Structure 1
Amino acid sequence: MVDIATRVYNHRWKMDPIVRSLIDTDFYKLLMCQSVFRNKPDTDVTFSLINRSTSIRLADFIDEGELREQLDHIRSLSLSRGESTWLRGNTFYGKRQMFTPAFMEWFENLRLPPYHLEKRDGQYELTFEGKWPEVMLWEIPALAVLMELRSRAVLHDMKKFELQVLYARAMTKLWGKIERLRGLPGLRIADFGTRRRHSFMWQDWCVRAMGEGLGEKFVGTSNCLIAKNRDLEAIGTNAHELPMVYAALAKDDEALRQAPYKVLADWHEEHEGNLRIILPDTYGTQGFLDHAPDWLAGWTGIRIDSGDPATGAETAIRWWQTRGEDPREKLIIFSDGLDEDKIIELHKQFYGRVKFSFGWGTLLTNDFRGLTENDALAPFSLVCKAVAANGRPTVKLSDNPKKAMGPEEEITRYKRVFGVGEQEEMEVVV
């Protein structure tokens, strides 16, 4: 087992680059990338870094030169032969050759496009522009770099034994969570923590701890590189990015209203089984379900990623019942801001009523709360989102208005088109 504290103490980034592979990313990004490559390859998009936790002034303590070195290193990466073989030949979600030969040939020749970086008022403005299939693959590595550089900045002046104690405490903290979850009957839980992890090495340690501590209840990881290296299932479906861009491309209000369903119609043509998971909250869950076509009720399940998760799950159960579906045969994936207390609470409320699983993210792979002076390693909310498509702004409403993004006039228009009324604000922790 890697001695993480010693590696951190002796750290030289050229030996330990933060992102070491193009598949050090979430599986859903590759699934979505193939869909975009097939359906909208010539769409021009802009992605931008958004720090929701404005009190964390990243540019004040992350060195710009080091950030550029890490980003430039990512631009030098390409698929290795072993990575290509794994993607081409492995079975994902019970399907061989998940990725088409045309997509793989394109991916094998890919280098990520340029970035634009500047400082402004204590924050980094980091943007990526170009064709959608290329630019979208910047999201996860860009976030991983910023999160780990923040961790390195905090740890920089710590001595060797101080680091040993810090990581021992963090390991003990995580193991305590695992012990609490171990007794839950029928638990299914996966690692979703790549984008805001403490570090690659720490995420890898967390994944191995989950595997040993939970056994078959730990069903895999969203991180493709770790899945490959540890012979685990790669987990993931789709995300808000698809409906946000499709909606931005809509020519009028009616096309906008249909855009979220057009996304899933394209997805329906490519995937089946447990990949047919609805993410309904981009423009409000209730409105999405109220106007959803009947064929969507036959999909495998729903992922709940904003708002109160119990409320979202109850809404999904009622929807399935009104559409003549048995909720006990459906799957709900909880994935927003989870920690062990919330997982236990949701398990108690829904066990036996519906199938469910948990995608455990930041508070699995980056929970150093209370372990450093001034809580300097506490996780924070950093995202990298598509902000424009073919020159038109994107919008996200969410079930939590604190997660809404886009120009105010467009947010107002989208709320009108999608019939979004009053919403309850919830704290955005991560």
Structure 2
Amino acid sequence: MIDIATRVWNHKWKIDPIVRSLIDDDFYKLLMCQTVLRRHPDTRVTFSLINRTQSVPLAKLVDEGELREQLDHIRSLSLTRGESTWMRGNTFYGKRQMFTPAFMDWFENLRLPDYHLERVGDQYELTFEGSWPEVMLWEIPALAVIMELRGRAVLGDMGRFELQVLYARAMTKLWEKIERLQALPDLRIADFGTRRRHSFLWQDWCVQAMQEGLGDRFIGTSNCLIAKNRDLEAIGTNAHELPMIYAAMAEDEDAVRQAPYDVLADWHEEHEGNLRIVLPDTYGSEGFFQHAPDWLAGWTGVRIDSGDPAQGAETAIRWWKEQGEDPRDKLIIFSDGLDVTKIEALHKQFSGRVRVSFGWGTLLTNDFRGLTDGDALSPFSLVCKARAANGTPTVKLSDNPAKATGPKDEVERYRRIFDVGEQERRAVVV
């Protein structure tokens, strides 16, 4: 097992680049990319970095030269033969050749497009523009780079023994969480922590700890490179990006209102009835279920990614019952701001009523809270979102207004289109 503290003490970035592979990415990005390449290859999009935690002055903490060096390194990456073989030949969700030959031919020749980086006050403006299939693959690597460079800025001031103690404490902290999770019967939990991880090496260590501590109850990781290297299931389906861009491309307000369902119809056709997980909160879950077509009730489950998770699960359960479906046959995946206490509570509340699963993100792979003076390594809320499609602004509302993105007037227009009422504003931690 790698001695992470010694590696950090001795590190040179060319030995330990922050992103070391085009598949050091979340599985859902590759699944969505295949759909986008086939259906919307010429759509032009803009993605931008958004630091929701303005109290973290990224431009003061992260050296611009180092940031550019890491981003340029990512642009030099291409798919290796071993990675291509894994994607072409592996079985994902019980299906062989999840990725088509046409997609793999394109991906094997891909180099990520250029970026625009500018310092604005104490923050960075980082923007990616170009064709949707290419630009969308910047999201996760860009977030991982910023998060790890901020961590390296703190770690660089620590001595060798201080680093050893820091990582020993972080390992102990995670193992104590795992011991609590061991008490939960029929637990199903996956690593969803790539985008805001402390580092690649630390995420890999966390995954190995989950494997040993939880056995079969640890069902896999969203990170494709770690899944490949550790012989784990790659976990993921789709994300808010699809309805955001479909809605931006819509010709009128009726088409905007229909966009989330058009996404799922295309997804169903793309995957021949597999990967049928609904993400309902892009424009408010209540309205989504209220207007959902009957055929969606037959899908496998729902992912809850904003708002009050218990309330979101109750909404889904109520909808299934109204549609004549047995919720005990359905799957609910909780994936927003999870830590062990919330996992325990949700597991207790919903086990037996539905099939429950958890996608554990930032507080699995980046929980150094309380381990440094001033919590200098605490995680913060950083996202990279689609900002425009073919020149039209994109909007995300979610079930938490604190997570809404888009121009203010467009956010209000979308709230009207989707008849979104009062929402509880909840603190966004990660």
Q: TM-score range by the shorter chain?
A: over 0.9
Distance 2:226 2:274 in 1: 21
Corresponding residue for residue 157 of structure 2:
157
Letter of the structure 1 residue corresponding to residue 218 of structure 2 = F
Shift of 1:192: 0.1
Alignment of 1:116-127 (within 5 A): 116-127=116-127
Corresponding residue for residue 33 of structure 1:
33
Distance 1:78 1:392 in 2: 31
Say yes or no: does 1:137 pair with 2:137: yes
1:241-277 CA-to-partner distances (Å, cap 9, x unmatched) read 0000000001111000000000000001022566100
Aligned residues: 430
Corresponding residue for residue 90 of structure 2:
90
Corresponding residue for residue 183 of structure 1:
183
Corresponding residue for residue 358 of structure 2:
358
Question: Percent identity at matched positions?
Answer: 81
Shift of 1:417: 0.7
Letter of the structure 1 residue corresponding to residue 392 of structure 2 = R
Letter of the structure 2 residue corresponding to residue 388 of structure 1 = A
Corresponding residue for residue 174 of structure 2:
174
Corresponding residue for residue 306 of structure 1:
306
Whether the 8 Å contact between 1:273 and 1:300 is mirrored in structure 2 is no
- Dislocated runs of 4+, deviation >4 Å: none
Say yes or no: does 1:402 pair with 2:402: yes
Distance 1:293 1:397 in 2: 21
Shift of 1:3: 0.2
Say yes or no: does 1:240 pair with 2:240: yes
Shift of 1:98: 0.2
Say yes or no: does 1:260 pair with 2:282: no
> Unaligned regions of 5+ residues in structure 2, if any?
none
What secondary structure is seen at the aligned counterpart in 2 of 1:422?
coil
Letter of the structure 2 residue corresponding to residue 402 of structure 1 = A
Corresponding residue for residue 192 of structure 2:
192
Alignment of 1:321-360 (within 5 A): 321-360=321-360
TM-score by length of 2: 0.99
Say yes or no: does 1:206 pair with 2:202: no
Shift of 1:2: 0.2
Shift of 1:349: 0.2
What secondary structure is seen at the aligned counterpart in 1 of 2:423?
coil
Say yes or no: does 1:382 pair with 2:415: no
Q: RMSD value over aligned CA atoms? A: 0.6
1:373-396 CA-to-partner distances (Å, cap 9, x unmatched) read 100000000000000000000000
Whether the 8 Å contact between 2:26 and 2:224 is mirrored in structure 1 is yes
1:63-96 CA-to-partner distances (Å, cap 9, x unmatched) read 1000000000000000000000000000000000
Corresponding residue for residue 45 of structure 2:
45
Corresponding residue for residue 218 of structure 1:
218
What secondary structure is seen at the aligned counterpart in 2 of 1:125?
strand
Shift of 1:157: 1.2
1:14-50 CA-to-partner distances (Å, cap 9, x unmatched) read 1110000000000000000001011111100000000
Corresponding residue for residue 422 of structure 1:
422
Q: 1:267 to 1:193 in 2, by over 3 A?
A: same
1:276-296 CA-to-partner distances (Å, cap 9, x unmatched) read 000000000000000000000
Corresponding residue for residue 106 of structure 1:
106
Whether the 8 Å contact between 1:115 and 1:126 is mirrored in structure 2 is yes
> Bigger shift: 138-147 or 404-413?
404-413
Corresponding residue for residue 8 of structure 1:
8
Letter of the structure 1 residue corresponding to residue 108 of structure 2 = E
What secondary structure is seen at the aligned counterpart in 2 of 1:98?
coil
Distance 2:106 2:368 in 1: 39
TM-score by length of 1: 0.99
What secondary structure is seen at the aligned counterpart in 1 of 2:124?
strand
Corresponding residue for residue 412 of structure 2:
412
Say yes or no: does 1:23 pair with 2:23: yes
Distance 1:279 1:4 in 2: 36
Shift of 1:197: 0.1
Letter of the structure 2 residue corresponding to residue 257 of structure 1 = R
Whether the 8 Å contact between 2:268 and 2:274 is mirrored in structure 1 is no
